[in-house]
Amino acid sequence: MASSLPPPISALPPEILHQILTYLSVPTLLIFARTSRQHYSAASRALQTLQIAILPRRIHGLLAFLNSSLLEETDVLYGEPDYDVPTPNQIVVSCPLPVPLIGSKASKPKNPTEPPPTPAQHREQLFRLQDALACSILTTSSLVHLRSLTLHIYTITSPSLPEILATCFPDLRHLHLNFSHPYLHDACLPAHYWTSSEYLRASPIWDALAGIGDELESSVKLINLERLTVERAGITRTQLQKWVERNPRLQSLTLRNVAGVDASFVKWLGGVSRVSSRSVMLKSLALEHCSSLTLGTVEDFTWLDSLFDIDDAQTPTHQDPDATSALLVLSLQGSNGVSMPPLFTYLETRRPALLQITLPDGRRLTAWASPTFSRPSPSCSNTGQQHQALEGLTDMAGNGPDRNVDIHSSHAHGYRRVGRRIAGFLPLYDNTGEYTTYLRPQVQTAGDYRARYEMTQLKSQFGPMQAEL
């Protein structure tokens, strides 16, 4: 009599088995991997994405995942995350250290001669515990085929963790190291610990990721990164340059509150893009909240020419942003050492084919694909008509790119739109062709890019409107 038992899961075609396993959570995959050698191989290949939060409380890890998704600046290129669908590859590891209440019996040390731990000692113990847990998790052999790794911890204090990251993941394409958690309030941390650059200390522990040293240079396998995000790190400029150099396929680079990001680093970054023979160039660059980055003149921004793929004739080599290999997304949010007037002058003269740029003050400018406008109609007769023209364009832009709007109606007020994409903005010209203002998006909620637009005055011809703008 034939058996009524279904065939084993290992009898399925490898492609179907792989698709099934990708829907399982990480703990379930690890349990499945222990059942047989064949299942171990299938599970390790299915486990390609892992997000780990090693924080004192579970709620802290959930906040870290949410905050990381909201701050992701590359969603213009890679799409926005789906917040309604839970991610099975997110793991929260709670690592609380007991903090006895002052005055309680538990607060009294077992040895009367031993003083109670200070906040600094408690902090160091917590850092070492997080490092040890991260090393224990990442040395699991089932993670060898990871392609995307996100790690949320307080900081790195042990050289073992960078060595594991540099030598154990040859297939890794996306790495996100987050040491910034301003939404967490921990009594053992000093004030402004998450935001101040004073607590960023240079350390040789980053040499492993950069491959600095004879012993580490030959063992580094982290050389195929395509997306790299580092938040609040004391990595130096030399270490950062070596790390970027070792990953020629890098397309997205996000550095938030990183000590090594300064004017020399960005000039080096632009020089590498100009002289390098790499086939892939950066498409997204975010240098945010970097206090060491100081750019005050137009010449300080010329390093962007090579990233924008602009030749000496001040024209982009690639005019189609969908097919270009040049930089498409740029963010300088929070880098207050970057002066905006020279940045605007550079963008006005060079006119790169940007999709989005975030200014140091947080304003975000997004380009919309739209038809080219013709010459303007006769000029407005008074300032009131000019004001109506600006209001009409503001309302028009507020409708968003997915609605049918009569964009040619602005011609009746003496304004025109020139070009499909110019510097990633909506430049306005008055009846004499004099450049006046930029339209810029004002994001009202995280992830909402169909936001209303407001006018940013640069070289205004309309004196009475200064107060309103």
Overall domain count for the chain: 3
Would you state the pLDDT for residue 221? 93
Residue 421 neighbours by CB under 8 Å, 6+ apart: 321, 353, 354, 355, 367, 369
Domain shared by 244 and 151, yes or no: yes
Would you state the pLDDT for residue 208? 93
Q: Averaged over 261-286, what is the pLDDT? A: 82
> Does 104 score more than 80 pLDDT?
no
pLDDT by residue (tens digit) across 65-92?
988 866 554 455 555 555 444 577 889 9
Domain shared by 160 and 34, yes or no: no
Contact 154, 206 (CB under 8 A): no
Contact 97, 57 (CB under 8 A): no
State which of 209, 236, 260 marks the end of a domain: 260
Quote the percentage of the chain above a pLDDT of 90: 41
Q: Averaged over 254-275, what is the pLDDT? A: 90
Residue 157's φ and ψ, nearest 5 degrees, are: -120, -15
> Does 424 score more than 70 pLDDT?
no
Most confident of the following: 80-84, 241-245, 365-369: 241-245
Cα–Cα distance, 384 to 382 (Å, whole number): 5
> Does 382 score more than 60 pLDDT?
no
Number of neighbours of residue 402 by Cβ within 10 angstroms: 7
Domain shared by 27 and 58, yes or no: no
Domain shared by 93 and 25, yes or no: no
pLDDT by residue (tens digit) across 180-212?
999 998 888 998 999 888 899 899 999 999 988
Cα–Cα distance, 284 to 469 (Å, whole number): 31
Encoded amino acid at 406, one letter: D
Task: Write down the pTM of the prediction.
Answer: 0.74
Domain shared by 21 and 128, yes or no: no
Q: Where are the beta strands (DSSP E) in 270-387?
A: 284-288, 329-331, 356-358, 364-366
Domain shared by 392 and 441, yes or no: yes
Would you state the pLDDT for residue 71? 57
When mean pLDDT is compared across 84-93, 193-202, 235-244, 320-329, the lowest value belongs to 320-329
Comparison of pLDDT for 202 and 460, the residue scoring more: 202
Domain shared by 129 and 210, yes or no: yes
> Does 271 score more than 70 pLDDT?
yes
Would you state the pLDDT for residue 99? 60
Cα torsion 299, 300, 304, 305 to 10°: value is: 20
Residue 326 within a domain: no
Domain shared by 396 and 448, yes or no: yes
Residue 37 within a domain: yes
Domain shared by 39 and 59, yes or no: no
Confidence of residue 311 (pLDDT cuts 50, 70, 90): confident
Domain shared by 42 and 53, yes or no: no
State which of 215, 239, 260 marks the end of a domain: 260
Q: How many residues does the chain have?
A: 469
Domain shared by 200 and 87, yes or no: yes
Comparison of pLDDT for 409 and 170, the residue scoring more: 170
Q: Averaged over 20-33, what is the pLDDT? A: 87
Residue 331 within a domain: no
Would you state the pLDDT for residue 436? 36
Q: Which domain holds residue 445?
A: 383-465
Which residue has 């949320």 as its token pair? 152
Which element (helix H / strand E) includes 63? helix 58-70
Residue 253 within a domain: yes
State which of 217, 234, 260 marks the end of a domain: 260
Domain shared by 40 and 66, yes or no: no
Query: Chain centroid to CA 250: how far?
Result: 13
